[in-house]
Amino acid sequence: MPISRLPRNTPMPSPELLPMSSPPFKPVRTLAVTGGKGGVGKTNVSANLAVALSGMGQRTLLLDADLGLANVDVLLGLSPKHTLADLVAGRCELDEIILEGPNGVLVVPAASGRRHMAELRPAEHAGLVNVFNDLQRDLDLLVVDTAAGITDSVLTFCQAAQDALVVVCDEPASITDAYALIKVLARERGVDRVQVVANMVRSPQEGRNLHDKLSRVCERFIGDVSLNYLGAVPQCDWLRMAVQRQQAVVAAYPGSPSARALAEIAQRISRWQAPTAPRGHVEFFVERMLRQGAVA
Ligand SMILES: Nc1ncnc2c1ncn2[C@@H]1O[C@H](COP(=O)(O)OP(=O)(O)OP(=O)(O)O)[C@@H](O)[C@H]1O
Ligand SMILES: [Mg+2]
C-alpha cells in the first residue's frame, strides 16, 4: 500500500492492542547521520560506519534518506532495481528493495532526481519511518544517511533515530549550519543529545577544537542539548580514491588513516545500548518493539 495512504501519523497504540504474530526481534539501535551543510561527508561517514559495523558482525541496515538526491548506491557501487520511490508509489514492499552491500551490509536505496520524493509531506516522512515496523528482519543497527539542510525530512529522520550524529568540518559555514541544525532539532523536535564527528581534519586536535567550539555556542545559545564527541576522520586521499572506485574506504583501504578512524568510531558505536522505552513520538522500530512486549 502506498506510504501516502498509510494512516501512520497517529498516536502509538498500547502494546496490548497490537498483534503478537511476528517473531521476537531484538530492539534496534538507530543512528541518523546529518550535518546541515552539503558536502561535509555525511554519506561517506554513514556508509563507512554501516559497512564497518556490518564487518564487526552487527546486522546493519543503511537507509538512504537523501530522498531527492540519493547516492548511497552510487558510493557503494550498487545497482538497485527498486528504490524508496517504488515503495512510496505502492509498487513494492520495503523488504523487496533491500540490497546487500560490502561486508554484508543491508541497504535501502532511494531514488535520485525524483522531485516528488524531495517534496513529500510531513505525514509521508512519518509513514516512511513507520514502515520499518513491518520489516521482518532481525537487525542490530539502523544507520540513516540524511540530506543536507534542515527540511522536515531531515528533522523527522533525526528525531526518529535514537541518536543524531552531526558531521562537521573546519569551515565557518559548516559550523554555523551544524549549529542551526542542532538548534532546530532541540527547539522543535526535543532532541537533547547530539553526537559529533569532525570530518576532513588535518590533525586530531583540529577535530577536538571543532567539537569544543560547536559545544560552547550550543551551550550558550541553546542550553538544554549536550554534544558528545565521537571522533575525527582525517582529510584522506584514500577516501577520495575509494569514492572514485565506488567502494567504501573501510573495505577498499582498511589500513588508510580515514578507514582506521572510521573503524574506531564504529567500535564506539557498537557498544551503545539499544533503546528500552519509547519516547512518545514517531520513532524507528518502536512500534515493532511494543508489539512484542519487548519494552521494559
Ligand atoms: N575524510 C575525507 N577526506 C577526503 N575527502 C573527503 C572526506 N570526506 C569527504 N570527502 C570528499 O567530500 C565529498 C563529499 O562527501 P559526501 O558525499 O560524503 O558528503 P555529503 O555531506 O553526503 O554531501 P551531500 O550534502 O551532497 O549529501 C566526497 O566525495 C569526497 O570527495
Ligand atoms: Mg550525502
Residue 43 Cβ < 6 Å to ligand 1? yes
The CATH number given to whatever domain includes residue 154 is: 3.40.50.300
User: Does a structural domain hold residue 40?
Assistant: yes
Interval between CA 202 and ligand 2 midpoint (Å): 21
**pLDDT tens-digit profile, the chain (296 residues):** 455 444 444 444 454 444 555 567 889 999 999 999 999 999 999 999 999 999 999 999 999 999 999 999 999 999 999 999 999 999 999 999 999 999 999 999 999 999 999 999 999 999 999 999 999 999 999 999 999 999 999 999 999 999 999 999 999 999 999 999 999 999 999 999 999 999 999 999 999 999 999 999 999 999 889 999 999 999 999 999 999 999 999 999 999 999 999 999 999 999 999 888 888 889 999 888 888 765 44
Interval between CA 252 and ligand 1 midpoint (Å): 16
Tens-place pLDDT, residues 187-234: 999 999 999 999 999 999 999 999 999 999 999 999 889 999 999 999
User: Does a structural domain hold residue 15?
Assistant: no
Q: Residues within 5 Å of ion ligand 2 by Cβ?
A: 42-43
Q: Which domain holds residue 146?
A: 3-8+31-291
User: Does a structural domain hold residue 20?
Assistant: no
- What total of structural domains would you count in the chain? 1
User: Does a structural domain hold residue 23?
Assistant: no
Residue 243 Cβ < 6 Å to ligand 1? yes
Sign of CA pseudo-dihedral 274, 278, 284, 287: positive
